[in-house]
């Protein structure tokens, strides 16, 4: 995301200036969040460090990853707009730090001060970008899904390197890419091998590295 007047750092600064109450919460890797109805009904979590997977709350034992969200994302924000049941389950992919805000305070901060209206756009742009990227992947041909999965993760979380490559965080594992892509295991690993053999991706230690001039340029332009 490009640096703008409305970003999560500025949200934190102004909410502190406005004495909006919050609780700093540290959560270990592989923990579930917002599992209690009272928590879903009353709180929003801002990720200040780490990565969290969103899984569709579809009642299945092994739900697929809908998106992976990182620093600056507000979890459970949609329930502030729609009082129906939460549509997602949340699981940490790394050790995480959060700021926990009450929905009452969030509503007050976002709606009572005209100068804060821009934060609503920033938050929704972040959320809808994840939804848009997922829809692009889901509607693509099966043969393109894994390539688009890497591209999506690169655009959302990748770090451009001096050699023109883009590196994904260690927290994003191969199993997470498989779940996000919604491919069968056989198709996933076949396509993964193809991307490796054609020098489009490689694994360096514990990080996936993407070789794409288009992706690299896009990240440089957005920062």
CB 184 within 8 A of CB 66: no
Specify the pLDDT at position 15: 87
Per-residue pLDDT of the chain (223 residues; tens, 9 = 90+): 345 567 888 889 888 888 899 999 999 999 999 999 899 999 999 999 999 999 987 767 678 999 999 999 999 988 887 766 667 899 999 999 999 999 999 888 888 777 777 888 888 888 899 999 999 999 999 999 999 999 999 999 999 999 999 999 999 999 999 999 999 999 999 999 999 999 999 999 999 999 999 999 999 988 7
- Bridge partner residues of 33 (DSSP): 90
The edge-to-edge listing of strands for the beta sheet with 166-167 is: 159-160, 166-167, 207-210, 201-204
Quote the pLDDT of residue 122: 87
pLDDT value of residue 216: 95
| pLDDT computed for residue 2 by the predictor | 43
Strand partners, 101: 44
Q: Output the pLDDT for position 150.
A: 98
pLDDT of residue 159: 96
Where do we find the tokens 């390197």? 161
- Residue-level pLDDT at 27: 97
> Are 156 and 215 contacting, i.e. CB atoms less than 8 angstroms apart?
no
């Amino acid at each position: 995301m490009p640096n703008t007047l409305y970003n999560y750092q500025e949200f934190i600064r102004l909410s502190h200036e406005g004495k909006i109450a919050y609780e700093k919460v540290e959560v270990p890797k592989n923990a579930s969040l917002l599992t209690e109805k009272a928590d879903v009904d009353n709180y929003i979590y801002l990720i200040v460090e780490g990565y969290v997977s969103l899984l569709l709350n579809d009642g299945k034992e092994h739900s697929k990853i809908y998106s992976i969200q990182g620093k600056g994302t507000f979890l459970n924000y949609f329930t502030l707009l729609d009082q129906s049941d939460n549509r997602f389950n949340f699981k940490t992919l790394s050790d995480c730090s959060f700021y926990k805000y009450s929905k009452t305070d969030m509503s007050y901060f976002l709606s009572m001060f005209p100068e804060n209206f821009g934060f609503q756009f920033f938050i929704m742009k972040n959320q809808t970008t994840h939804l848009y990227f997922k829809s692009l992947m889901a509607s693509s041909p099966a043969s393109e899904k894994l390539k688009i999965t890497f591209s999506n993760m690169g655009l959302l979380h990748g770090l451009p390197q001096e050699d023109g490559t883009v590196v994904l965080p260690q927290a994003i594992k191969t199993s997470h890419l498989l779940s996000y892509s919604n491919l069968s295991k056989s198709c996933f690993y076949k396509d993964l091998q193809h991307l490796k053999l054609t020098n489009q991706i490689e694994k360096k230690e514990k990080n996936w590295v993407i070789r794409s001039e288009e992706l690299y340029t896009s990240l440089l332009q957005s920062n």
